[in-house]
Every structure is written in structure tokens, then in C-alpha cells.
Structure 1
């Protein structure tokens, strides 16, 4: 049981010496879920910026394939040309340029050689844009199989604009009269991918300088802190991160809409890692499982985080865990 008013990042370690396949399940009340049906998840980005589109339900699986408008993306044809790969059970495919691939039952995906694929690459199951171009706007689909072999698809829409500050992808309510946190969500996301920045995160409001009358603005790490929140603090805030990827300098921008309320705000926990990950271990060996969650700022006095193994508490299986903020 953890207590306190401010919780920016919480990390936990589960130690186990079991020899089996372990399915991780980190359960948090009101954890944000990803969309599997209905409208695609929407991401707003600015042209010329670096962006990684995740296939969150697939975790870090390597056998993830992406498509756009029914055409396969980022299969690395030059590397695999002329080789036979077993992409599905019992199915060998020869990857030659111009050949149609049947990646999943009943679905033919042609190799995508369009100009708008330039700068797009699939790495560790994620779609990397280095950088984003206007032609990259559209709906993308990641295809993956569960451990049982069942086929899954996740749809995401990328909206690219020429504006320096993209539209907001998140709405964050702050309570009037108290100190409120405006987080830069992508900062921790890229840090977990081992992409970090030595430069301080920069903030803008309404795509201009952040000015407040009266109570000051402070910045702690990637987050912006607003003391004595008032109605004037409502608006669109954008954080800018400068990254170095593969020796190239890139910029990342992410926007959040701040709204003001008279009610006490309890923020939903946001699981950063893992996301439905499957970890193989050797029989008789040991493994440490790590989870990280962003709890934001809340006046909630207690937060409970725990691990489950096969729907029962890990304490019942002789496993130990530890937590820190």
C-alpha cells in the first residue's frame, strides 16, 4: 500500500524462479484500454517530427506486420529477397519484389513500394516514422497472433498537420485552487524504448510562451506544474522533446488539453510497461519482471498496485515483489 499526494512514476519488480511461460497481468483500477473495435485510435502529429506508432496489444513480439490500405509495410525486402520465411503455421512464403503475400488467412497484402513509405520502418513490432510526412496520414493496421495462434488486428489513425503544435490527443482535468500537473506523456514512452534526450523538455501553451499572472509555473522533469490552478490555465499545452536517434537529431511534439473543474480530480493510472507481454523462461531459471505506471498527480491518499499469476495473488505462489516511486 502506497500513500502520499504526488506520484509521478511507480515501478515494480516481481521476482520468480518458475520454469514456464508466464503471462503478465498488471491490474490497475481504471487503466486505459486500447481500442480493438469501432473507430481507430487517433494520433495527431506534426510534419517533420519523429514518431513511433505502437502496436500495444502485441507487446514486444517480433512477428508483427503492418499494413495500410491493404498493402504491407516495412517487411525489409532487400534483406529477405529470395528467402523462404514461415510467417504462419505450415506456410512458406518467398519474398520477392512485386509478389503478393498471404500473411493471414484469406487476406492478400501486396508489397508496398509507394513514395509515402519513405522514412517508415518496422522495428521491434512498432512503426517508426523518421520523420513524419504529410503523405503518412491515414489508417494503419498491425497484424499479430496470440500465443494460441488466434489472429488479431489493431487499427490506428495518424493525422499529420503542418502546424508546429499538433492537436491534443488527451484531455486532462485539473482542480481549481490546487497545484496541477501537466505531463509530457511521450517522454516516458520514449525513455522506455531506450530513446532519451539530454535536453530539457520545452513547453508551449496555445503554441506560444507559457505565461501566468500571479502564481508561478515550475517544471520538474518532463512535467509542467501549475500552482493555484485557475480558469485562465485552461487551454492546449504542447511539450517538445529533442531526441538523437541513429546519429540523427529529431523533435517530438505532443499536446494535451487542460480543463478546469471545481471537483476533486482523481487521475486514471496509465500503464507504461508491460502491455500484454509474454516472457519465455528456462525451467529452473529465475527472472525479474518489471512494470512501470504513471500515476500523475492526485489527492487520492492511497494507491494499491499488485501482480496476479493465473488470476491469484503472487504471494500465494511464493513470489516476492517490491515497489518504489
Structure 2
């Protein structure tokens, strides 16, 4: 693209705001037709700034407006030629003050005769496309009384069909080789009741061997919804295939605004490989204004526009907090379950036995008629009553037999006269699942002194021997009324006490826990086939 260094109408010189020189280079020549309106604007100056801008013609003192020729005047810091005359040829100096620095710019004005000025720039269009030519008379078009925009080709009215917009843009449909030439835009304006005309020309070349670029293609066209965490840094990527040309762009639009207006947004554009391009939008930290709004990556060139849509939503972290809560609560819940299981162990076992008894029909295959043999250790005492024997003969059967249906063989109750022989006692022990030995505190050292006590001692010794050697029957040791001194009892009882402990029954107490523990140590209650109606 070529740019001519001369302009024949309104001149608007744009200069970067960061100026490092106090004086610009030699004056450029701006060509304008005689009788046309010309406006010159000092760079880096906007609005009414008469106090900061001064104009002078070369050869006169800077700031001396009297040195300007007739028909040239300053309005709001802009130099007006009303209109330009051949006597206005020459160099004009603009002096402006910006941030305590004085900038000086030279303008060269050359006034020509005729209607159409020489072309100020050249544009090249391919054939077969729809294109537009701009009318670069922006300041003239902004005047309140600007009107009647006309286009000429080679200084003659355009013969082909065209459309002209309010901003002076002329559209050409289906460009052909015959459209090549010099086009001039003329704008009429009224200032102080007088009518003026301004003109600018553009040379149009037609490229016949032009290859049309391909229409851009977005790799991902469906809308993406991304879960993000508030305050985190996020990068959004958009990839597209397109042929580069002078109208190729790739940029982001967030909630209808460009990214350069938001300090939290930054975008990068790079060519990955061949015709593959990628644009990255970086959000330094996710704020509420970026959530649930449209985020578009726009890809466009001369052949079309494509958008890639995205949306950010706040991530649902409830699963994380739930996991943390479960992780914290699980050990506590496990400890609680262990505690409850230990504390209510007896209740759990008894409940399980009761429930399972309704679904399973036990078989009496072992042919053992008794659940337990009960033996009370004789206690030497000066009292008439023996607490161990009283518990074994009255209290224990009242609970186990009367309330829970256990079958007990109680020494001294179920062995008739003459049956307390060693062989009979051995047979009785073998017919029981458990051996319950009841002991009570002794007042003196224990020694069997009569026949009945010797028989009981044999039963106890026989049962303890089998329990210690064959682990059958299982022994349940029950202590009555306070701590028992096992030094006065057979050594085997002391061994059982040390190995598995003893259940303690106390008088004048409901002993609920004692009875539950005793039932747990007993075998499950048996249900015969007759019980189930078979």
C-alpha cells in the first residue's frame, strides 16, 4: 500500500503522544485546489485551545497572527483557509504547548488550479469482490452544515451503480478491471453563510491475478462452558484456520466490550503452524463480572467473520467440602460406632440371636440335653445359709429357666440320692454346653468336710479339667456378694479367673447388665421342630 506525501484538502496530522523532539522535520507539501476549503490541525491538540496553539506564516514572528495572509484565520486552534488561494502558497508553522514542552510543526501548502486534485493515496482491489472507498475529509464531514457528498471518476461523474453512505464511504459491488482509475470525493460545506467545497482523490488499481483468501474457520464452534474458581487465573484459547490479508483480525469481546478497556484482561495472538492461528485471553483473576456473560473470540478477514463463544461459571465445590466433612466425620463416626458396639455388645448379640431364631430352625444334632451345669462352691461359714448355693438353687434357675427357657442341670437339685457318684457326675458334665461355677467370699480356708461337698468338688474339678484341656465345656465363673479371695479356693478356679475374668452378681441390685452378659456367654436358646409347627 502506497501513501502519497501530499494532501489537497483537509489535513489532519496525527502524531504519537510521546514526543521526544521539540521540532518536527522539514515541512511536507499539502496540495489543495484553488477555491477549496482547507483545514490544518496542530498535532496532539483537541478542542478549543487558542491559548495553547499559535500559527504563523514562515518569515513572520511566531504567534503574530497578523502575519497570516488574508483569508486565513485560526479558529479553536485550527487554521482555516476560507478558501485557499494561490497567494496562500508557502510554509506555515504551528506552535503548541503540551505538558510544559513547546512543539513546533511545519506545514507546506501548495494551491493548484482545477477541480480534481492529484491522488493522495493508492488502493488495490481484486476483481469480483465488494469493496468501499473512504472519503478522507473527516473534519469537513463533522461540520454542522456539511452536505452534498459527490464522487467523481477521473474527474467525471461515476457512471456505474454505487452507493454513498453519510460518512462519505462509496461502495463498489463486484469490482471489475474497468473500475480502475482516480476517484475524487467532493463535500460541500457552509461556514459563516458562505458555501465552500473540499475534495480528496484516491487512485484505485485492480489486481486481476488475485487469489481470494479462504473464509476463516473456527476450530471449536460450539459454546464452551468452563467451571472456574473465584479469584483464580484463567487462560482461554481460541484456534482458527484463515488466510492472512490486510483485513485479517483475531480479537476477544467480553460482555460486549473489547478487552483493552479492562485491566484484568490481556490477549495474545500468534501463528502456530501454516494457516493455523491461536489467540489467548488471560484473565488475571476471575471476578463476578466475568461470570455468566458472553465471551467471544472473533476471527475475521475480507471473506467473512466467525465467532467462538465461551462462558465462565463458578465451580460447584460442594463435593470437595462434603468430602472434607466425610473425611473428618468418618473417624469420629467409627469411634462412636466402636464405643456403642462395645457398650451395647450384649444387646446386639442377644438381638441378633432373637431375630435369627425366627428364620433358622436349629437342629438338636448334638444330642446334648442341658445348656449348662450349675455348681456352687461350698463356703465355710458360721451362718446357716450358704449364699452361693442359694443363688445356684433359686436365683439362677428363676432367670435362665423361668424367663429365657434354658435347660439347667443343678448339682444338688437334679442329681438324686445315690447319683452323685464320680461316673454319674462325669456323665452330667458331658451332657452340658456350659459349666457355671458360683463362688462367694469365704470366711475361712475351704476344705471339703462332708460327702456332699466332696461330690461338688469332684464335679468342679472334673469340669475345670476338661475345660482347661479340651476347651469343653466352656466355664462361666460367677462371683456372689463382693470380692472373692481365690487363695482359699482350688488353684484351677484362680487360673480361670485370671484367664477370662468373672461375672459379678450383687444382692439388692437389679443386675440387668449381669443377666445380659450371662445370656451372651450361654449358648443360643434352642427351638425344637415342634416349636415351629413341624
Would you call these one fold, judging by a TM-score over 0.5?
yes
Contact 1:190/1:196 (<8 A) preserved: no
Larger RCO, structure (CA 8 Å, separation 6 or more): 1
Per the normalisation by structure 1, the TM-score is: 0.55
User: Once the 2 structures are TM-superposed, how far is the Cα of residue 224 of structure 1 from its aligned partner?
Assistant: 1.3
Per the normalisation by structure 2, the TM-score is: 0.35
The aligned residue for residue 217 of structure 1 is 162
Separation (CA, whole Å) in 2 of partners of 1:244 and 1:182: 24
Instruction: Give 1:134's match in structure 2, choosing from 86, 90, 96.
Output: 86
Q: 1:73 to 1:264 in 2, by over 3 A?
A: farther
CA RMSD of aligned residues (A): 3.4
The aligned residue for residue 148 of structure 2 is 200
Return the structure number with greater helix share: 2
Separation (CA, whole Å) in 1 of partners of 2:212 and 2:75: 41
Instruction: Give 2:31's match in structure 1, choosing from 26, 44, 51.
Output: 44
1:1-325 equivalence runs, <5 A: 34=15, 37-60=24-47, 61-62=49-50, 63-72=52-61, 75=64, 111-112=66-67, 117-147=69-99, 149-186=100-137, 188-192=138-142, 194-197=143-146, 199-212=147-160, 216-221=161-166, 222-261=168-207, 262=210, 299-300=247-248
The aligned residue for residue 318 of structure 2 is none
Q: 1:183 to 1:142 in 2, by over 3 A?
A: same
Helix, strand or coil at the partner of 1:232: helix
User: Once the 2 structures are TM-superposed, how far is the Cα of residue 38 of structure 1 from its aligned partner?
Assistant: 3.9
Separation (CA, whole Å) in 2 of partners of 1:72 and 1:259: 45
Separation (CA, whole Å) in 2 of partners of 1:303 and 1:74: 46
Contact 1:195/1:245 (<8 A) preserved: no
Contact 2:56/2:64 (<8 A) preserved: no
Post-superposition CA distance 1:169-206 (Å, at most 9, x none): 222332332111111110x32244x4342x33111111
Separation (CA, whole Å) in 1 of partners of 2:73 and 2:130: 41
User: Once the 2 structures are TM-superposed, how far is the Cα of residue 40 of structure 1 from its aligned partner?
Assistant: 3.0
User: Once the 2 structures are TM-superposed, how far is the Cα of residue 65 of structure 1 from its aligned partner?
Assistant: 1.1
Contact 1:168/1:254 (<8 A) preserved: yes
Q: 1:209 to 1:74 in 2, by over 3 A?
A: farther
Post-superposition CA distance 1:83-120 (Å, at most 9, x none): xxxxxxxxxxxxxxxxxxxxxxxxxxxx516xxx1110
User: Once the 2 structures are TM-superposed, how far is the Cα of residue 309 of structure 1 from its aligned partner?
Assistant: 10
Q: 1:73 to 1:143 in 2, by over 3 A?
A: closer
Post-superposition CA distance 1:267-294 (Å, at most 9, x none): xxxxxxxxxxxxxxxxxxxxxxxxxxxx
Contact 1:44/1:168 (<8 A) preserved: no
Q: 1:264 to 1:67 in 2, by over 3 A?
A: farther
Q: 1:207 to 1:146 in 2, by over 3 A?
A: same
Separation (CA, whole Å) in 2 of partners of 1:171 and 1:64: 33
Helix, strand or coil at the partner of 1:158: strand
Separation (CA, whole Å) in 1 of partners of 2:251 and 2:75: 35
Separation (CA, whole Å) in 2 of partners of 1:238 and 1:125: 28
Flag structure 2 segments of 5+ consecutive residues without an equivalent: 1-12, 17-22, 214-245, 253-257, 267-282, 290-534
Separation (CA, whole Å) in 2 of partners of 1:38 and 1:70: 17
Contact 2:14/2:44 (<8 A) preserved: no
Aligned pair count reads 209
Separation (CA, whole Å) in 1 of partners of 2:108 and 2:262: 34
Flag structure 1 segments of 5+ consecutive residues without an equivalent: 1-31, 77-110, 266-297, 321-325
User: Once the 2 structures are TM-superposed, how far is the Cα of residue 34 of structure 1 from its aligned partner?
Assistant: 4.1
Helix, strand or coil at the partner of 2:44: helix
Q: 1:175 to 1:128 in 2, by over 3 A?
A: same
Q: 1:141 to 1:181 in 2, by over 3 A?
A: same
Separation (CA, whole Å) in 2 of partners of 1:232 and 1:200: 26
Helix, strand or coil at the partner of 1:135: helix
Return the structure number with greater strand share: 1
Q: 1:155 to 1:124 in 2, by over 3 A?
A: same
